[in-house]
Structure 1
Amino acid sequence: MSQSSNDFFIGYLKTPPKLAIFLTVVTTLVMGLGIGGGFALLAGQPDYGSGGFKGGYQEHLGVLQTAPYPMLRIPPDEAHPDGQTILLSNPGKRGAQKRAAKHDGSIVDVGGVFITREGARILQVGGAAKIRAAKDPAPVQGFVPSADVPLGPVTLRGEIVDTKCYLGAMRPGEGKVHRACANLCLMGGIPPMLAVFHENEAPTLLLLTNADGEAFDADILDYVAPYVSVTGDLYRRGDLLILRTDASRIGFI
């Protein structure tokens, strides 16, 4: 019998040595390429920041405002000379409008978990308090939230995102791969924001409203995810920046 006959594989016989060596080398190479390819794909992914649910359950006391989107106004202190303005959302792809409506303008306790990214945050309402009339309103009694401060007209470039996913509820929570999810969140009442990106520093986030300072309608959905230019009037409410605009002043870049 020739040597080539000895190297032929037969299932019920011992694998020929040459064939065993060949299979070992090929298997090792294929596995190495697969692992290396996986690491290469991972390394090529953009950095979506360190956003996520952080800090555990917390309760905060302040004045609730529902327009243009539900938010809690907290009086100024040494660390926050302009006061704090905390946007609110319900769990899932839902804004907190329905839950907040009966408390508009009232002093409330709001409980939930912050979704935080690079200093910006939104509070997902839940837990023991959710939104309720304050048990002890005394610490903020007499606090009247300041009106929006006009900062003038601006034209800014960035990406329109849904606040909740962008800040870390989803990763990625931005870009075209997230567009369908973002639009569902916005249709559910999650506040839209314009993320203005900067080199070597955190993005600037601005709450988007229509020209009258009210919640945006469905016209904004066409502009979510692509890079856009937005012209409007800039305001500050506490420590929150608000950009009033309309669809006619948003353009693709």
Structure 2
Amino acid sequence: MKDDFYVGWSDEVPKSYASSAKVFFTVALLAMIGIGILYVNNQKGYIDSVYEYGSLQEYSGYLVKDPIWGLRVEEKGIIKTIPLVGFGKMGPDWTLSKMMETHDLKEGTMVTLRGMVFHYQGKYWMELTEKENSLVSAGSQTMLVRDIRMTGYKELSGEIVDPKCFFGVMNPADKAIHRSCAIRCISGGMPPLLAIREGGKFVDYYFLHGAEMESIAQEILPFVGIPIKVQGEVATYDDWKSIVVDVNDIALANSSNVGSSNLAYSICQ
């Protein structure tokens, strides 16, 4: 039997060559489609957080400080706190201090603030996008006594996240993929938040602070974005919770106490 012979510049491709090429390209195409489907199905899913970028919104409420700076509002008879963050990777402290200097504000003052909003699971946050110009108005009315409930001692397992990215500005915003950015945000003044996950879903959140409500942001940086265990007294502020943490008692999940270890962490540039 005579073998087919083919050179690239000839007019016709022998049938044996054409048939083999069709089989090869069909198999290769199906393989690529199959690999693509497997790759997509094994990707980490996104949470349905929302960042209303470019849309400045106004909210009126009482300015509160604990467990972090926020705007205490009432919606349909329900009291909620909208936590505040600064522009970029900054907490709200600098912006609020400027507002207080120029407008004689204090905790409990009724104010109207303007900024970009982000939210997840019905929890809203506001970025003071225009910095000190985010203050629209301030009234003379002050807040009545706030109901803060102590709910006892708890041991919790979760992951420390930076809430600005987590609640909408970036997605995904947890685990190792976001760790360096979360460290940078918390270093800039974002309040560290312990996110609790059950069955693959986030179900609860706790602000972390020291016994005198002081920030422990710098001390907990080595533990950001990894599974940990914490313990301490829990308090409820409207629709948010906080836990008093001794950094030396923080432990890696499924590991021994590592509070004094030199656990390495990176800072995103």
Structure 1 residues without counterparts, runs of 5 or longer: none
Q: CA RMSD in A?
A: 2.6
1:184-230 CA-partner distances (Å, limit 9, x unpaired): 11111112111112348751011111222122231111111221111
**Would the aligned equivalents of 1:62 and 1:109 in 2 still touch at CA under 8 Å?**
yes
Check if 1:73 corresponds to 2:76: no
Runs of 4+ in 1 over 4 A off after TM superposition: 127-130
Q: Matched residue of 1:219: which SS?
A: coil
| 1:7-46 → structure 2 map (5 Å cutoff) | 7-8=5-6, 10-14=7-11, 15-46=13-44
Partner letter of residue 241 of structure 2? Answer: L
CA distance in structure 2 between the partners assigned to 1:165 and 1:249 by the alignment: 27
Structure 1 residues 160-239: aligned runs within 5 Å: 160-199=160-199, 202-239=202-239
SS at match of 1:241: strand
Whether contact under 8 Å (1:59, 1:109) holds in the other structure is yes
Matched residue, 2:259: none
Higher mean C-alpha deviation, range 171-180 or range 117-126: 117-126
Give the secondary-structure state (helix, strand or coil) at the position aligned to 2:83: strand
- CA distance in structure 2 between the aligned counterparts of 1:3 and 1:90, rounded to whole angstroms: 79
Instruction: Tell me the equivalent position of 1:98.
Output: 94
Identity among equivalent positions (%) equals 25
1:4-53 alpha-carbon deviations (Å, 9 max, x no partner): 2x333x22123333223322322232222222212212111233321121
* TM-score of the pair, normalised by structure 2: 0.80
- The one-character-per-residue Cα deviations of 1:122-166 (angstroms, maximum 9, x if unpaired) are 22223699531516x37xx23235164322211111111111122
Q: Over residues 78-117 of structure 1, what are the superposed CA-to-partner deviations in whole Å (9 max), with x where a residue is unaligned?
A: 531xx22111123432222211123342432212232212
Q: Structure 1 residues 205, 129: CA separation in 2 closer, same or farther (over 3 Å shift)?
A: same
Residues in 2 aligned to 1:188 and 1:213: alpha-carbon distance in whole angstroms: 18
SS at match of 2:95: helix
Amino acid across the alignment from 1:72? L
Residue type of the partner of 2:222? D
Q: Which residue matches 1:159?
A: 159
Structure 1 counterpart of 2:46, one-letter code: Y
For 1:244, the equivalent position in structure 2 comes to 244
Count the aligned residue pairs: 244
Distance 1:60 1:182 in 2: 27
Alpha-carbon distance in 2 for matches of 1:130, 1:223: 35
Distance 1:180 1:145, change over 3 A: farther
Question: What secondary structure does 2:178 align onto?
Answer: helix
- Rounded to whole Å, the distance in 2 between the matches of 1:24 and 1:245 is 65
- Cα drift, residue 66 of structure 1: 4.7
Asked if the contact 2:86/2:131 (under 8 Å) is kept, the reply is: no
Q: Give the secondary structure class of the aligned counterpart of 1:28.
A: helix
| Cα separation, 1, equivalents of 2:114 and 2:136 | 12
Aligned equivalents of 1:33, 1:65: Cα separation in 2: 58
**Equivalent residue letter for 1:63:** Y
**TM-score normalised by length of structure 1:** 0.84
Change (3 A) 1:38 1:168: farther
Letter in 2 for 1:49: I
- Counterpart check, 1:114 vs 2:120: no
Judged with a 3 Å threshold, the aligned counterparts in structure 2 of structure 1 residues 65 and 131 are, in CA distance, closer, same or farther, namely: farther
Q: Separation in 1 of the partners of 2:64 and 2:40? A: 42
